[in-house]
Amino acid sequence: MANTNNKAKKITTIATLGSHCALQVLKGAKDEGFRTLLVCEKKRVGLYERFGFIDDMIIVDKFSEVAGDRCKAALKKKDAIIIPHGTLISQMSSDEIEKIETPVFGNKWILRWEADREMKQKLMEEAGLRTPRPVQSKDKISGLCIVKLHGAAGGRGYYLAWNRESFEEGAKRLVQQGMIRGEQDLYIQEFIRGVPVYLQYFYSPVTKSLELLGVDRRYESDIDGIGRIPAKQQLGAGGEPSYTVVGNIPLVLRESLLDEVYKMGESFCRAAERLVKPGMPGPFCLEGVYDSEGRFTTFEFSARIVAGTNLYVDGSPYSGLLYDEPMSMGRRIAREVKMAKRKNCLSSIVT
Amino acid sequence: MANTNNKAKKITTIATLGSHCALQVLKGAKDEGFRTLLVCEKKRVGLYERFGFIDDMIIVDKFSEVAGDRCKAALKKKDAIIIPHGTLISQMSSDEIEKIETPVFGNKWILRWEADREMKQKLMEEAGLRTPRPVQSKDKISGLCIVKLHGAAGGRGYYLAWNRESFEEGAKRLVQQGMIRGEQDLYIQEFIRGVPVYLQYFYSPVTKSLELLGVDRRYESDIDGIGRIPAKQQLGAGGEPSYTVVGNIPLVLRESLLDEVYKMGESFCRAAERLVKPGMPGPFCLEGVYDSEGRFTTFEFSARIVAGTNLYVDGSPYSGLLYDEPMSMGRRIAREVKMAKRKNCLSSIVT
Amino acid sequence: MANTNNKAKKITTIATLGSHCALQVLKGAKDEGFRTLLVCEKKRVGLYERFGFIDDMIIVDKFSEVAGDRCKAALKKKDAIIIPHGTLISQMSSDEIEKIETPVFGNKWILRWEADREMKQKLMEEAGLRTPRPVQSKDKISGLCIVKLHGAAGGRGYYLAWNRESFEEGAKRLVQQGMIRGEQDLYIQEFIRGVPVYLQYFYSPVTKSLELLGVDRRYESDIDGIGRIPAKQQLGAGGEPSYTVVGNIPLVLRESLLDEVYKMGESFCRAAERLVKPGMPGPFCLEGVYDSEGRFTTFEFSARIVAGTNLYVDGSPYSGLLYDEPMSMGRRIAREVKMAKRKNCLSSIVT
């Protein structure tokens, strides 16, 4: 940590990879007075050149070069900190991420817990979050279930089943498509009936407080389009839905739910502190469903900024309660770096 | 009224119950220069302490204490006005609300018309609003209907039927669940095919004008999630939907609908003035569905601020047309109190 | 063009028809320092009088009078420019629009390409946009298709079919309803499974750059309500969906989609320059669906401001990345006029 503290002591530039939420992050950094740097794939330079708040670019062929010597040297020269986001996680292994020598905002060790299904489940349980009940075998299916592939990326191949027959029918289709070898590659979870909600938090080690900065839901193709196909036509035409994230829709929650929202966020931070030091500094997200009793079941978490925060470049209904300026999640990150510099405690927010 | 005027003459504090839209209301009050006070349940103190714009709290075991001597004295000492919202209505009877001696913003007598189904229908008809057609008996069902329980809270037990058989099937299920004694506990309304819309109005007795300050739709569990379950799986798994409000989604309307929106709002205000003096000062909401002809059918009204306004803590696309500052409904209420104080006409906005 | 330049050289007033997005357009004009004028139907005067940023009104019986001598003279006297929107297009023929002598913002000749189905398709193809595959005959239907009426307005009569039988059943119903004479009045397109998205662009001839200023989806009745009717009840009650636009819902897109979004917009502008001089100055919209592979298929374009921009009276998450002030599409138009005046190049943005 002494080393971490040392390497981060004079951060003047905020850097990130050119995708996911880079625009929001660098806009926020600029608003807080930092220089901004984008690690940008060659093919995307044209896009990012449009935005005046990006001061510098390092152009790469692929994002994993961010850990290489050329980027490292350039980032060091600029006294840069990297803001990790979903693209970093999807383009680099946990091993590669942990070896990044440039200062990384937040806890880079926790990203492995996000990427690994079993570690993820362990952390959610440690936090006392309600998670979907696993269904032990196809004979135990009662009510709607979601069938998932071990180790599958995104939601590819997932299907809904409600009894043994519909489970087997789906498995057969996946075998025919060459996506699985057999039923042993599948596992079954209860399907939680309800509405999807994504909770966007920020935990500040500097102020020791948790902030809810926004709420959204994803906009997924084609699952969010099938409701626009009447039942008769759905049944006639057949087809299985997919869950490709296309964007996000803004939401607010009933105020009576907020107390539990904060409690879940705090439990998550404390669990992270116990399981993976230094814990959960910075942005994170709990992702789940509210059922008809108003209970939240958590499916996933993201231990870093999520793309749903892109809705709130100019602040959200929740950030408006906490800040008198437009406070995006990207700007909040930059604000935290600034505060930590002033208080000489950068080591608490950098790994 | 002289008495009302008297008791409210030096309001310096805006107070409300800690739930529903309290954050928005007190944030808006603070922005308008008032002191703010929250009547807060013990278990929620931790939540509300997070927000710097709340100056004082009165901690209670249950919200109905707001009418008790301790609260009354504390509120009087602070020269407070109470902003009523959905939690006040759900936690206290109309009798109890009418007996509150602390000044209440708006017309507390109209809250009884919101709470009582028959009075509610009477006021909507007086306003000339289109409302769903009642279906006299199960033999008269043609097309989709919604079956409701006399005196039920929320949407619990509601179901959709399209003929005598589906009506009877639903009734049988409710009898088995012990929710009704028999079909006589049910009544039937035509189901309006269309999309739900909530219209957020503010009527100012001070400026004598009506303002549309926002539009939203509710986000309900699990009814807003079933569209994400393909028809085949819905039919396979069975189950009845529920209508638990989880949050709200922002909307704008076609501009060509706005003229009728304003006319409906004005009719409602005039009808309220005729039926329940002093009428409809302050925020209210018409809640209904736009059908495929662009006609609005009103299901319900709320005669006070609704939670959908929480979307617009920093203003809405509609408030942006009327005000050059971010104007939430909460802030608009505080602004009205301020204007009424200046013009010495508090009695027109307080009961 | 010399003539155009001449007639527009001292624009001081921004004018539009009273519907669609007039409030946004005139609010934005006022924010940029213009006088504002509304051409208003008699029956809507009450609505528009509520808004303080409307300086003048010309009251008409019907909107087509805007091209008449009385309006022409009044607009000329005010040195006004007309901002065209959807109501202009729906209330006047392309011939009538092209004959308007008052300066029109943007390219009034391209509005004909929006209104005519074949010209529209030609421009989309010239731009290299992916469009839905036509299905040559009812015997070639495989998978879900949408059946449309030649020359129908809006989505009236459209239906979904998945095989020869369901096509014929729909055709029969339309014949019975007197909407078509026979199957020859119908044409068939593949139905793209996915989620609807509307991309709001602005192309500036002054700065020679394209801006994405917002993203939304429409809120349509009753198609966006049928997902709230469970499959069982849908099948029991029957009925065909309709696609009446009631409003709009805000969205953001995955940042990784933005590069293609900009490329599509630029291709569209270049194609417009080739096919219909002077091209695509000002606001336009590409309207389509993202499928489960994240590919965008364009159904339609609007070659002028769209109503979905009404969501962003105070700016959008995308305008927030480009401007440090709240920049609605309406304000952006006014800003362009202002810039063109300063640079003495009004002819590039006026026809």
pLDDT tens track for A227-268: 999 999 999 999 889 999 999 999 999 999 999 999 999 999
In the three-class reduction of DSSP (H, G, I as helix; E, B as strand; rest coil), residue B320 is classed as: helix
Chain A residues touching residue B28 (CB < 8 angstroms): none
Angstrom distance (rounded) from CA A261 to CA A251: 14
- Please list, in sequence order, all residues whose beta carbon lies within 8 angstroms of the beta carbon of residue A19, skipping any fewer than 6 positions away: A41, A44, A63, A85, A87, C255, C256
- The tokens for C2 are 């010399």
Backbone angles phi, psi at C234, to 5 degrees: -60, -45
Angstrom distance (rounded) from CA B33 to CA B334: 9
Report B:314-343 residues touching C (Cβ under 8 A): 315, 317-318, 320-322
The full DSSP string for A298-345 is: EEEEESS--GGGGGGTT--TTHHHH-SS---HHHHHHHHHHHHHHTT-
Name the minimum distance, in Å, from the CA of B216 to any CA of chain C.
9
- Please list, in sequence order, all residues whose beta carbon lies within 8 angstroms of the beta carbon of residue A49, skipping any fewer than 6 positions away: none
Place of tokens 């004008």: B209
Residue C199 has pLDDT above 60, yes or no: yes
Residue A194 has pLDDT above 60, yes or no: yes
**DSSP assignment, residue A191?**
-
Q: What is the pLDDT of residue B9?
A: 66
The pLDDT-based confidence of C137 (bands split at 50, 70, 90) is very high
Q: Do you know the residue count of chain C?
A: 351
For residue A87, give the nearest of A239, A265, A304 by alpha carbon.
A304
Beta bridge partners of A282: A203
The answer to whether the CB of A328 falls within 8 A of the CB of A309 is yes
Residue C145 has pLDDT above 90, yes or no: yes
Over the stretch A289-327, which tens digit does the pLDDT of each residue have?
999 999 999 999 999 999 999 999 999 999 999 999 999
Name the minimum distance, in Å, from the CA of B195 to any CA of chain A.
12
Angstrom distance (rounded) from CA B128 to CA B125: 5
In Å, what is the CA distance from B142 to each residue of B147, B194, B229, B298, B300? 13, 17, 27, 21, 23
Beta bridge partners of A59: A40
What mean pLDDT is predicted for residues C77-95? 95
Q: What is the 3-state secondary structure (H, E, C) of chain C?
A: CHHHHHHCCCCCEEEEECCCCHHHHHHHHHHCCCEEEEEEEHHHHHHHCCCCCCCEEEEECCHHHHHCHHHHHHHHHCCEEECCCHHHHHHCCHHHHHCCCCCEECCHHHHHHHHCHHHHHHHHHHCCCCCCCEECCHHHCCCCEEEEECCCCCCCCCEEECCHHHHHHHHHHHHHCCCCCCHHHEEEEECCCCEEEEEEEEEECCCCEEEEEEEEEEEEEECCCHHHCCHHHHHHHCCCCCEEEEEEEECEECHHHHHHHHHHHHHHHHHHHHHCCCCCCEEEEEEEEECCCCCEEEEEEECCCCHHHHHHCCCCCCHHHHCCCCCCHHHHHHHHHHHHHHCCCHHHCEC
The answer to whether the CB of C63 falls within 8 A of the CB of C87 is yes
Residue A236, number of CB atoms within 10 A of its CB: 17
DSSP strand pairing (A209-222 vs A195-204)? antiparallel
For each of the domains in chain C, give its residue range(s) and CATH number, in order of start: 2-104 (3.40.50.20), 115-130+194-342 (3.30.470.20), 134-190 (3.30.1490.20)
Angstrom distance (rounded) from CA C314 to CA C316: 7
Residue C3 has pLDDT above 70, yes or no: no
What mean pLDDT is predicted for residues C248-258? 98
Q: Is C23 on the interface with B (CB under 8 A)?
A: yes
**DSSP assignment, residue A116?**
S
Minimum Cα–Cα distance from B22: chain A residue:
A255
The answer to whether B193 contacts C233, with C-beta atoms less than 8 Å apart, is no
In the three-class reduction of DSSP (H, G, I as helix; E, B as strand; rest coil), residue A161 is classed as: strand
Q: What is the pLDDT of residue B3?
A: 45
Name the minimum distance, in Å, from the CA of A186 to any CA of chain B.
19
Q: Is C179 on the interface with A (CB under 8 A)?
A: no
Crossing angle of helices B329-342 and B22-31, in 10° steps, is 40
The pLDDT-based confidence of C156 (bands split at 50, 70, 90) is confident
By CB neighbour count within 10 A (0-12 exposed, 13-18 middle, 19+ buried), where does A207 fall? exposed
Interface test with A, best of B38, B193, B229 (most A CBs within 10 A): B229
- The tokens for B40 are 């807060």
Backbone angles phi, psi at A80, to 5 degrees: -100, 155
The answer to whether C27 contacts B321, with C-beta atoms less than 8 Å apart, is yes
The answer to whether C20 contacts B255, with C-beta atoms less than 8 Å apart, is yes
Over the stretch A135-158, which tens digit does the pLDDT of each residue have?
999 999 999 999 988 765 666 788
The answer to whether C226 contacts A227, with C-beta atoms less than 8 Å apart, is yes
In Å, what is the CA distance from A240 to each residue of A142, B13, B237, B321? 21, 57, 16, 44
Q: What is the pLDDT of residue B52?
A: 96
Q: Which residues of B are annotated as a binding site?
A: 20, 87, 220, 248
Percent of chain A residues past pLDDT 90, beyond the cut? 91
Beta bridge partners of B13: B35, B80
For residues B175, B178, B179, B181, the Cα torsion angle rounded to the nearest 10 degrees is 50
Residue C2 has pLDDT above 50, yes or no: no
User: One-letter amino acid identity for B153?
Assistant: A
Q: Is C262 on the interface with A (CB under 8 A)?
A: yes
Binned average pLDDT, 10 residues per bin, chain B of 351 residues: 52 97 98 98 98 98 96 97 96 94 97 93 98 95 90 74 94 93 94 97 98 98 96 93 95 98 98 97 98 96 97 97 97 98 94 92
Interface test with C, best of A54, A159, A195, A233 (most C CBs within 10 A): A233
Residue A27 has pLDDT above 70, yes or no: yes
The pLDDT-based confidence of C119 (bands split at 50, 70, 90) is very high
Enclosing H/E stretch for B202? strand B195-204
Q: What is the pLDDT of residue B5?
A: 46
Q: What's the angle, vertex CA C318, arms to CA C202 and CA A62, rounded to 5?
A: 105
User: One-letter amino acid identity for A52?
Assistant: G
Enclosing H/E stretch for A70? helix A69-77
In the three-class reduction of DSSP (H, G, I as helix; E, B as strand; rest coil), residue A9 is classed as: coil
Q: What is the pLDDT of residue A320?
A: 96
Q: What's the angle, vertex CA B252, arms to CA B249 and CA B255, rounded to 5?
A: 165
The answer to whether the CB of B20 falls within 8 A of the CB of B85 is yes
By CB neighbour count within 10 A (0-12 exposed, 13-18 middle, 19+ buried), where does B235 fall? middle
Minimum Cα–Cα distance from A44: chain C residue:
C259
Q: What is the pLDDT of residue B41?
A: 98
Angstrom distance (rounded) from CA C237 to CA B145: 9
Name the minimum distance, in Å, from the CA of A249 to any CA of chain C.
5
**Least confident span in A91-105, C153-167, C213-227, C307-321:** C153-167
Contacts 24+ apart (CB under 8 A), B151-159: B151/B117, B154/B243, B154/B244, B155/B242, B155/B243, B155/B244, B156/B242, B158/B243, B159/B240
User: One-letter amino acid identity for C96?
Assistant: E
Over the stretch C208-219, which tens digit does the pLDDT of each residue have?
999 999 999 999
In Å, what is the CA distance from C347 to each residue of B243, C6, C284? 56, 8, 19
Residue A51 has pLDDT above 90, yes or no: yes
In the three-class reduction of DSSP (H, G, I as helix; E, B as strand; rest coil), residue B178 is classed as: coil
Minimum Cα–Cα distance from A228: chain B residue:
B227
Report B:52-91 residues touching A (Cβ under 8 A): 53, 87
In Å, what is the CA distance from C88 to each residue of B172, B210, C98, C259, C277? 55, 29, 11, 32, 20
Chain C residues touching residue B318 (CB < 8 angstroms): 313
ipTM exceeding 0.90, yes/no: yes
- Please list, in sequence order, all residues whose beta carbon lies within 8 angstroms of the beta carbon of residue C96, skipping any fewer than 6 positions away: C64, C67
- The tokens for B227 are 């569209």
Nearest to A321 among B23, B231, B312 (CB): B23
Place of tokens 């919101």: B114
